[in-house]
Structure 1
Amino acid sequence: MLLYEHPLSSYAQKVKIALREKGLDFRVETPAALGTGTAGGAFAAASPRNEVPTLIDGEARIFDSTIILEYLEDKHPSPALLPRDPAARAEARMIEDLCDTLYEAVNWGLSEIRWFGRAEGEQAETMKATAARQTAELQTWLTDKLGDRRWFNGESFGWADLSVAPYLNRSFFYGLGTPAGSPLAKWRERLIERPSVAATFNEFEMAAAGMANAHERLASGQIRREYRDHRLEWMMKSGGLQIVLDGLAKNNIRFTWPLG
């Protein structure tokens, strides 16, 4: 199997953890021109939105992290990542959906400010404070979902856990993690003991170390950041209206195919 990905993508991290948990052999490739919306070749043919992750498995061409997880669960049901109970399965999918939309948007917004320099001075500090409050709300919700269980998935690690993993880990990376000894901090300690997670997080950290000049690449036109659905909503409600307008004027933001 070939997985088109980028180590910083939380969506790709989910899939890599699942592949590793299932003990499947795969290789990874970061498509040339990823982040511009103009990547071509086999990747673009398989992913019309020019987004990672995209999985190539024989004749199968699959994009979207959730659909890839479903494909892997269908084709390689053991070890199972989804619990058997229908209500528990729905719970895992709801946790995934919230993290993939609301939590991802907050983390992504912070990266726009911290790495890509979309805001400076008072505006940046105000937006980062807003993101911190939102992160705390999301973490409170997740703490309630975890309860006194060892894993979000229930008795064993699974779908819900790998869906939370990249987002909560990035909060810790940004200095917005929960206090030591908190339920989420303890869960994360258990999480990073898993080889599948440790390898994936190590790849994230190595890629993050190379983001020091990200704002220069944006300014030079090498990158056009994708402002899709929940990300655009986050900008609009969190003080980033002018950022969106400036990005449109400078042509360094883009929207999902086929609109631009």
Structure 2
Amino acid sequence: MAELILYEHPLSPYAQKVKISLREKDVPFAARLPEGIGTGATGGGFAKANPRGEVPALIHGDVQIFDSTIILEYIEDVWPEPAMLPRAAAERARVRMIEDVMDTQFEAITWGLGELNFFRRAEGAQKDAMEAKARQQAEAFFGVLEGYLGDREWFNGGRFGWGDLSVVPYLNGAAGFGIRPAAGSRLAAWLDRANVRESVAQAQRESVASITGMNQVDQAVKAGLFKRQYRDHRLEWMMKTGGTDIVLKGLEAGNIRFTGPGT
């Protein structure tokens, strides 16, 4: 069987989704950190597999796939058991909508908190104000997620699956910044259940361990060695949360980039 290679970074919730799915299905894979990740000038097999220059990217023999959702769909097609998607069409659509909300809206909040705390894009009153807004935004999404969960044990329904692995990396990321679902809430109880699963726990351990390598990373940004990727939803978050000057300074300094080759 062809070797399965996953280009990833442990802090990436997009990559965590894929690792959780593979581990739930007991599919062996080799995790690799892309060459030059964060510089905007990645190379090797990763660059060939993903013109966006973002993790994750999956290589399976001659097959090269980027985008976490498309990768999850490929995994589901090649290794259908245990199924991560619900059986009913309406339920499949529901968990895919949950995934989209987390990928394109909630992700910007945790990413933005990383910009403030790891990359030190703002300090003092500006940082405090932006973090307060981030907390308000996250708590509003917790309410949305409570609605999606309802009285189900899992977002997927009767068993852990696609809907759950699409949420847990983001909520764990927010918890790392001290933002958690309210104690006693259905969402908090779900998060406790999800984190007990070894597939989730392992991804979380890897994520936490990688944070130690973030020391002085803000200096690398200031030196122009890192170019942070401002995808459209991340750029929107910065603009609406009080970070307009952060974007302008980053453009002037050349330490932010946008998606795609030549950017």
TM-score normalised by length of structure 2 = 0.97
Secondary structure in 1 aligned to 2:59? strand
Partner of 2:140: 137
Partner of 1:257: 260
| Partner residue of 1:236 out of 221, 234, 239 | 239
Please give the residue correspondences for 1:156-235 in structure 2 after superposition, counting only pairs within 5 Å.
Answer: 156-235=159-238
Partner of 1:20: 23
- State whether structure 2 residue 48 is matched by structure 1 residue 10: no
| Partner residue of 1:60 out of 60, 63, 88 | 63
Secondary structure in 1 aligned to 2:6? strand
Partner of 1:69: 72
Secondary structure in 2 aligned to 1:192? helix
- State whether structure 2 residue 140 is matched by structure 1 residue 152: no
TM-score normalised by length of structure 1 = 0.98
| Partner residue of 2:35 out of 14, 32, 36 | 32
- Separation in structure 1 between the aligned mates of residue 212 and residue 188 of structure 2, nearest angstrom: 23
Instruction: Give the length in aligned residue pairs.
Output: 260
Secondary structure in 2 aligned to 1:133? helix
Secondary structure in 1 aligned to 2:81? coil
Partner of 1:124: 127
Secondary structure in 2 aligned to 1:23? coil
Contact 2:7/2:56 (8 A) holds in 1:
yes
Q: Tell me the amino acid that sits aligned with residue 161 of structure 1.
A: D
Q: CA deviation at 1:83?
A: 0.3
Please give the residue correspondences for 1:76-91 in structure 2 after superposition, counting only pairs within 5 Å.
Answer: 76-91=79-94
- State whether structure 2 residue 136 is matched by structure 1 residue 105: no
Q: Which runs of 5+ in 2 are unaligned?
A: none
Q: Tell me the amino acid that sits aligned with residue 78 of structure 1.
A: E
Q: CA deviation at 1:212?
A: 2.6
Cα-Cα RMSD: 0.9
- Separation in structure 2 between the aligned mates of residue 184 and residue 49 of structure 1, nearest angstrom: 33
Q: CA deviation at 1:259?
A: 5.2
Q: Tell me the amino acid that sits aligned with residue 133 of structure 1.
A: Q
Residues 89-121 of structure 1: per-residue CA shift (max 9 Å, x gap): 000000000000100001111100011000111
Contact 2:35/2:44 (8 A) holds in 1:
no
Residues 99-158 of structure 1: per-residue CA shift (max 9 Å, x gap): 001000011111000110001111111111110100000111001111111100000000
Secondary structure in 2 aligned to 1:210? helix
- Separation in structure 1 between the aligned mates of residue 204 and residue 11 of structure 2, nearest angstrom: 9
* Percentage of pairs with the same residue: 54
Q: Tell me the amino acid that sits aligned with residue 85 of structure 2.
A: L
- Separation in structure 2 between the aligned mates of residue 149 and residue 255 of structure 1, nearest angstrom: 39
